[in-house]
Structure 1
């Protein structure tokens, strides 16, 4: 089963991804992780991607598609959560073509809808473990170890992109770049929406039902 989680930064995609990985054995395609792995391995595509990043440019769609194609080859036969990809309609169309060649498809696209005001509050209070990536919140999910991660004792940090002025810019970019992608999947008939203002347990249960998985 291949699914896409799509939503604004901080809408809860990462939290739900981890739950589906832990409970149902999904693997997660994070474009950031795929990029870093390709660059570290010094693959041809990874070095090409790095050349754009070093110039402060976005990695072109065709390069990202190539990286994703390689990842999907490695994960053949597994259920994949796409998080952070596709961002554009061009990427969505290429992903459809890529999966069709493998006699596969995207079963469901889950759109995380959220009130922007709640989103800003959620992100400005978010703290992320610098070692394992576990996410906390100073109000709704504080660490019992204060400024340290409960899982690995790594220091918790307030990411630079979780500040209000940066968040507003990220939201504007999301609407501009990903809004058309949401409509692309809506027209295809495989888009489902969840209200991610709700508690994570409620959101998880709703997504589980959308996917037809036993909870």
Structure 2
């Protein structure tokens, strides 16, 4: 079982990935997590990726695909949720080819639909705990004590990625590279769309209604 979660920056992919994986016993494959783990372990793939990152270059599509594919030990019998991959059409086509060679295919693509205005508001309102990494939002999920984490009491701060200028750039990249995946997967007839402008709990409920017929909760 292969499920892909796509959406603009700020659409809640991380939050919803965690909720779905816990509810349906899915293995969460996040490209960011994979990159960090591979580079920290200094694997062959990780060392290659590290060279690009150190030089401020984008990691090539082929290498990204190889790193994700290495984590798909049982694409036909396992339960996987891909978050942050594929990021563009080239990666999507490479993933489909990899799966086809193993008698597997993508079962479901979940699209978290959020307007650019909504994404900007969420990104620039996000605060992250410097201690435990817990994520808050001053608009939709404010901390009980301003500037302090509910979980560990650590200080909350804003990532550089979440500044207004950087957020705009991230959304432009998303529109250019990732948004075309919507049409691509609609044509594959595995596409389902959810309004990501709802509360996190409502989005989770909407996603669960789609996934439940395919996977019984565990």
Equivalent in the alignment of 1:137: 137
1:68 aligns with 2:61: no
The gaps in structure 2 that reach 5 residues or longer are none
Check the 8 A contact 2:76/2:103 in 1, yes or no: no
Quick one: distance in 2 between partners of 1:172 and 1:139?
Answer: 23
Quick one: distance in 1 between partners of 2:44 and 2:169?
Answer: 32
Are residues 76 and 188 of structure 1, via their aligned partners in 2, closer, same or farther at CA, if it must alter by over 3 Å?
closer
Are residues 183 and 76 of structure 1, via their aligned partners in 2, closer, same or farther at CA, if it must alter by over 3 Å?
closer
Check the 8 A contact 2:2/2:75 in 1, yes or no: no
User: CA offset at residue 26 of structure 1?
Assistant: 1.4
Deviation by residue 1:85-111 (Cα, 9 ceiling, x = unmatched): 001111111111222233322111111
How many residues in Structure 1 have an aligned counterpart in Structure 2?
Answer: 215
User: CA offset at residue 214 of structure 1?
Assistant: 5.7
SS at match of 1:193: strand
Quick one: distance in 2 between partners of 1:177 and 1:130?
Answer: 31
Check the 8 A contact 1:208/1:214 in 2, yes or no: no
Equivalent in the alignment of 1:158: 158
Q: How does 1:101-140 map to 2 (within 5 A)?
A: 101-140=101-140
User: CA offset at residue 169 of structure 1?
Assistant: 1.1
Equivalent in the alignment of 1:53: 53
Quick one: distance in 2 between partners of 1:209 and 1:163?
Answer: 34
Quick one: distance in 2 between partners of 1:78 and 1:155?
Answer: 38
User: CA offset at residue 77 of structure 1?
Assistant: 4.3
1:92 aligns with 2:96: no
TM superposition score normalised by structure 2: 0.91
Q: Give the superposed CA RMSD.
A: 1.9
Equivalent in the alignment of 1:186: 186
TM superposition score normalised by structure 1: 0.92
1:167 aligns with 2:167: yes
SS at match of 1:209: helix
Quick one: distance in 2 between partners of 1:77 and 1:158?
Answer: 40
